[in-house]
Structure 1
Amino acid sequence: MPSTALRVYVRNTALERIGQIDDYTSLTVVPRYNAIGSFVLEVSADSDKAGLLVEGNGLIIRTADGALVDSGPIRTADWSRSKDDSGEGKLTVGGVSDTEVLTRYTCWPAPGSAIGSQAAAVYKISAVVAETAMRALVNVNAGPGALTVRKNPLLTLATNGGRGPVITRQLNQFDGLFVVLQDIANAAGLGFRVVQVGAGLQFQVYAPTDRSGTARFAFDLGNLTDANYQTTPPTCTRAIVVAGGQSSPRSCKTYDRTDPLFPGLVLEQFVDLTSVDTASVDLAAQMDQAAEEALTVGAGKGSLAISPIDIPLLQYGRDYQVGDTVSAKVRTTWMTDVVREVTLTCTASEGTTVKAAVGTSDGDGTVARIYQYIARLKQDVGRLKTRKAA
């Protein structure tokens, strides 16, 4: 394999390393920020390691110098052969990142009680720091603090760093745990993941590391082969939050967020908090949080795709990773945002190539910073065209 080849190790169901796949023909791995990563590996069915690649086992994928790219369980192991194939054909192995474990659980309204005692209709988070709230949700629904029948014995929690703003929100009964974590993290500007640490899986919350001063990409720096950006219009610029109306009087409030590309566009969206008692002392905080999440999800989307070239002073895995903030030069202007997704492709003949997606479909604060930049750029172009026409 080339010197830049990704290293692939196989683990068993107890997360113990049981072998290395060093004769694969191709590998594509896609780690993602606040989302489920994936991998696809192809290897000759004649490989003496092929017997390790079965459902239930997993892969640990590292860069050539040992930095963790991703890890997770094998979900599919398919065999195929054509008349042009030599030997016994090939195996195609697919899997997902360990963060996928969070999608298996829901948020119980009374997580400390048996299913027959779930009398409450909601689970309430009251004035809690975002990271603390996220850890608590994982702990009581899937982690060490969960009921024995729900507890994942491999899952632990990293130390609480107290990151993020104070939040107040109410969860509907049995909301999906992973989706709730996404909503909280994206609105708070935090990242989360599950990674293998030793013989266990650890839930981690983190703030994106700002590497925009050192991880800089531009054609004139010689570390880009191609780049493109695209935008998607907003779906919500006005959140209409309605609380109560069932067992308590109704309370309604609108929250507006101007889109930089379509400043006159108003897109209303109903946000249902009718299950919330309007007599609650934290009603205003709950309505504010619900509006923030709706406007964040519905904000205009911006995404920049770049193909970096690893150079001695700037390499993926060592100098920047998914979840880090980097800088890229779009035409004549530098912009910064979080690396949301990286596609690493490795073949026996060409080594490893990297394709990074900077910016997101989830927004960042008011809207993604890239989207704001592109909006300004298009407005500038429009003004120039107007001047020329005049």
Structure 2
Amino acid sequence: MAITLLVTDRDLTVVGDPIACWETVDATVRLNAAGSAQFTTPAHPWIREQIDAAHRVVLIRDRRVFIAGPIEEYQIEQSDDGENSGDGKLTVTWTDDLALVLRRQAYPNPALTPEEQTTDYWEWDGNRELGLHALVDANAGPGARPERQVPHLVLDSPTGITATGKVSSGWELLGEPMNRLAGDDVGFRTTQDMAAKRILFQTFPLVDKSDKVRFGFGLGNLRYLSFKREAPRATTAIVGGQGEGADRYVIERTNAVAEAMWGRREVLVSRNGSDPVEELETAGDEQLRDDGETYQLQTSAWDTPDQRYPEHYDIGTRVSVALGPNLQVSERVQLVHLQAWATAGELASAMVGTQEESNDPLWLRRVRALEREVSRLGRTTRPASG
């Protein structure tokens, strides 16, 4: 274990000796979201002198910056005896520098003050990675208005991601359009360049290593698994019905696979019966997707000597998780949690999947493919797309 804690001023200059006498460290980095961290240490006077509202903490693990950013809170506890006697105990909480970016408002026109705005939205249609750089630069980076620039923030070079997308934003926290634009293709983060005293905003591709990085109870690197599956609200959509006589045209759309598994569940989708058949079919298919069965996958996986963050996987990497003897699915690493104790070593764990329910994660293709193999029913109804 090699963990170093440094305190810097707002100009990223180290203000004192490394805090080598820390007792506990707890830090979390997240995919396309700000991380957070906390450490506890004896409240020696030379450490108290380093802690200030304008200062920052840098956590270095194995010679790499794990998380760095401004102090959000600190607490000193003292008592006349017991564990907090003497100098007492100091607890310091800080956040990722990315929070400084995500907390900016997305201006419709970042070049103007709020009073000068003449448009409702900032829009991008093109390369996702370049769009993220443009959005951050205009609202928080060197290209932003002087009063809005995050001190010492610079944009690292794009990595060459070719995915394209669209986004429009205006008067919302910057993290919201950033996540919409990133989609399932681009990750973003900040890190500190210690030598150059810079905060780097970086984008990176969300890669698939599900054939190389695996977690499972049988592999000894999975400590928690939650897999929830919920029945669809509808398997057949009856579309149309508005109008009279010849205009009262009705069609039926059925998700045959879901209906074979869960039974028939009907929903009425009101549309003008005289609409083109293709539009009625599309409306039915969209309703079946919205009302489809939902899945939720959440795991907590251990780091092991031969499978560690960030050597073997990164935030956003797609990895494999064994759900059972014959079923392996893949999902993204959403966060990495580092815990360390001065007397007991460290523990790093990754959360794969999210607490959010979804009706169409990519790994469901495997689940559905298995179901189709089991339930070949030769039905004549046309399944909904998706």
Q: TM-score, normalised by structure 2?
A: 0.73
SS at match of 1:179: helix
- The residue type equivalent to 1:347 in the other structure is W
SS at match of 2:146: coil
Paired residues, number = 326
Specify the alignment match of 2:278 in structure 1.
none
Specify the alignment match of 1:196 in structure 2.
192
Specify the alignment match of 1:304 in structure 2.
298
Q: Displacement of 1:300 after TM fit?
A: 4.7
- The residue type equivalent to 2:297 in the other structure is S
Aligned equivalents of 2:129, 2:33: Cα separation in 1:
17
Specify the alignment match of 1:367 in structure 2.
360
SS at match of 2:181: helix
Q: Displacement of 1:96 after TM fit?
A: 0.8
2:307 to 274, 299, 314: 314
Q: Displacement of 1:358 after TM fit?
A: 0.4
Specify the alignment match of 1:281 in structure 2.
none
Q: Displacement of 1:162 after TM fit?
A: 4.4
Aligned equivalents of 1:234, 1:117: Cα separation in 2:
51
2:134 to 125, 133, 136: 136
The answer to whether the Cα contact below 8 Å between 1:231 and 1:302 also exists between their aligned partners in 2 is yes
Q: Displacement of 1:97 after TM fit?
A: 0.8
CA distances 1:198-245 after superposition (whole Å, capped 9, x unpaired): 311122121123333332223333334x221244869999xxxxxxxx
Q: Displacement of 1:323 after TM fit?
A: 2.5
Q: Displacement of 1:34 after TM fit?
A: 0.9
SS at match of 2:101: helix
CA distance 1:7–1:267, change in 2 (3 Å): farther
Specify the alignment match of 2:86 in structure 1.
87
CA distance 1:223–1:120, change in 2 (3 Å): closer
1:12 to 1, 9, 13: 9
Aligned equivalents of 2:141, 2:179: Cα separation in 1:
18
CA distances 1:302-350 after superposition (whole Å, capped 9, x unpaired): 3332231422x22233322322222222222322222111111101121
Aligned equivalents of 1:141, 1:373: Cα separation in 2:
41
Aligned equivalents of 2:200, 2:293: Cα separation in 1:
31
- The residue type equivalent to 1:334 in the other structure is Q
Aligned: 1:354 with 2:351: no
CA distances 1:355-376 after superposition (whole Å, capped 9, x unpaired): 2110235689x73345666788
Aligned equivalents of 1:374, 1:265: Cα separation in 2:
23
The answer to whether the Cα contact below 8 Å between 1:192 and 1:204 also exists between their aligned partners in 2 is yes
Specify the alignment match of 1:337 in structure 2.
331
Specify the alignment match of 2:238 in structure 1.
none
Alignment of 1:178-327 (within 5 A): 178-185=175-182, 187-197=183-193, 198-224=196-222, 226-231=223-228, 300=294, 302-311=296-305, 313-327=306-320
Aligned equivalents of 1:91, 1:236: Cα separation in 2:
52
- Percent identity between the aligned chains? 24
Aligned: 1:116 with 2:115: yes
CA distance 1:167–1:309, change in 2 (3 Å): closer
SS at match of 1:36: strand
Specify the alignment match of 1:25 in structure 2.
23
The answer to whether the Cα contact below 8 Å between 2:7 and 2:56 also exists between their aligned partners in 1 is yes
Specify the alignment match of 2:380 in structure 1.
none
2:321 to 328, 337, 340: 328
Specify the alignment match of 1:75 in structure 2.
72
Aligned equivalents of 2:268, 2:161: Cα separation in 1:
32
CA distances 1:3-37 after superposition (whole Å, capped 9, x unpaired): x2532222221112333111111110011111111
The answer to whether the Cα contact below 8 Å between 2:60 and 2:66 also exists between their aligned partners in 1 is yes
The answer to whether the Cα contact below 8 Å between 1:359 and 1:368 also exists between their aligned partners in 2 is no
CA distance 1:39–1:371, change in 2 (3 Å): farther
Q: TM-score, normalised by structure 1?
A: 0.72
Structure 2 runs not aligned, ≥5 long: 235-252, 270-285, 376-386
The answer to whether the Cα contact below 8 Å between 2:303 and 2:309 also exists between their aligned partners in 1 is no
Aligned equivalents of 2:323, 2:233: Cα separation in 1:
27
Aligned equivalents of 2:330, 2:367: Cα separation in 1:
12
1:34 to 32, 35, 40: 32
Q: Displacement of 1:116 after TM fit?
A: 2.9
Aligned equivalents of 1:304, 1:192: Cα separation in 2:
22
Aligned equivalents of 1:317, 1:43: Cα separation in 2:
26
Aligned equivalents of 2:45, 2:340: Cα separation in 1:
18
- The residue type equivalent to 1:57 in the other structure is H
Q: Give the structure with higher Rg (CA).
A: 2
